[in-house]
Amino acid sequence: MIKSQRLAQRFKTLVEIDSLSRQERDVAMELENILIKMGAIVCYDTAKEKVGGNCSNLVAKFKGSVDAEPVFLCGHMDTVGPGKGIKVQFEDGIFRSDGTTILGADDKSALAIILEVMDVILENKIDYPPVEILFTICEEIGLLGAKHFDYSLLDSKFGYILDSTDTEGIVTKAPGANKIIIKIFGKAAHSGAEPENGISAILVASKAISGLKLGRIDEETTCNLGTIKGGVATNIIPDFVEIHGEARSHDVEKLKAVTDNIVSAFYTAADQFKNGSDLPRIEAIVENDFTQTNISEDHRTIKLAKKAAKNLGISLASKIIGGGADANVFFGKGIVAGVLGTGMTDVHTLNESVAIKDMEDAARLVLEILKVHAAGEI
């Protein structure tokens, strides 16, 4: 029932509409027009005002043909760069760009798949539950669309996000994360004339970092210091350094422990350079970026997906990942979202691609999930 040519053409159309983060309006208008023609009730929240973009999160509701708990389907509208003027190439069943940009299969393959599923349901008069479609903004720049979404617009308490690679897997566990900002205040001095009168913020930073274990801490936990900015000239003792990092873990206590360890390392290093003054001084800012996702195998989200996969002759594996997605934000709001794959590969690179067969398989799985749910089999 999946129409390959329609799916491919729609994907190509969406990909060729520029939609970098904070610039999703044009693709949202295309999606809105399609959804309204399908009979959906479409609205937007006010997230654009909070993220400084030209478009908000799009919500489309289909009332369904059976009395069942509503389910949501989600993908994000934004892409990373270089993503302007994408020229789609299609050869041997695989979509690529011309090599000068990303393709945008992350995550426009999801948008095309969701639309195809609803087209198939409506044109074949297949029984289906109430479906809420959420197309988010600014996923690629810190999940900002999901973080600023107006959750009062969503009735569903469970659903599926299409934003992964493996078409035979569903993400059930993902780590929570903390953002860490460390500011080190030292004292400037001329490095040739009077270096003794200065306190190097860079030296304090290096002392702290040298004693830290970074990268993989254990199978559940990672941490990284990603950017360091400081100093103004080679002949001036640097009086300020700012470091941005993160910690991630599937375990809440481990996340707190590794975060605290990073912060304390800088305070300890600063103390070693103090000589009766209040400098060097440390300012540490820790913010929770997103909560961890941990979906039980007994949850309806997983049971429905695996039942649907079995019906299609597929073994759907539960996956544990190290990255974050909109699903993490939803989970923190009490909404359970299993993450499904579309087949996209080499995302965020000029080699990004997706096979039409994988998109078709993903569409069949989502369609079967809705059919199983409508039938009340789970």
Q: Could you list the active site residues?
A: 78, 139
Determine the residue type at 210.
S
Peptide bond into 238 cis (omega under 30): no
Q: Put the strands of the sheet holding 94-96 in their side by side order.
A: 89-91, 94-96, 353-355
How many angstroms separate the CA atoms of 143 and 160, rounded? 16
Q: Which residue blocks in 213-290 are alpha helix, DSSP H?
A: 252-271
Say which residues have a Cβ less than 8 Å from residue 65's Cβ, sequence separation at least 6.
125, 126, 127, 128, 374
How many angstroms separate the CA atoms of 361 and 305, rounded? 13
Nearest to 73 by CA among 335, 361, 346: 335
How many angstroms separate the CA atoms of 324 and 175, rounded? 7
Q: Put the strands of the sheet holding 221-230 in their side by side order.
A: 215-218, 221-230, 240-249, 176-185, 281-290
**Which two tokens mark 358?**
């994988």
- CA torsion sign for 248, 250, 255, 258 is negative
User: C-alpha distances in angstroms, 326 versus 246, 284, 358, 360?
Assistant: 18, 27, 22, 23
CA 276 from centre of chain: 47
Say which residues have a Cβ less than 8 Å from residue 9's Cβ, sequence separation at least 6.
none
Nearest to 120 by CA among 282, 10, 14, 244: 10
How many angstroms separate the CA atoms of 107 and 111, rounded? 7
Determine the residue type at 238.
P
> At residue 20, what are phi and psi to the nearest 5 degrees?
-60, 160
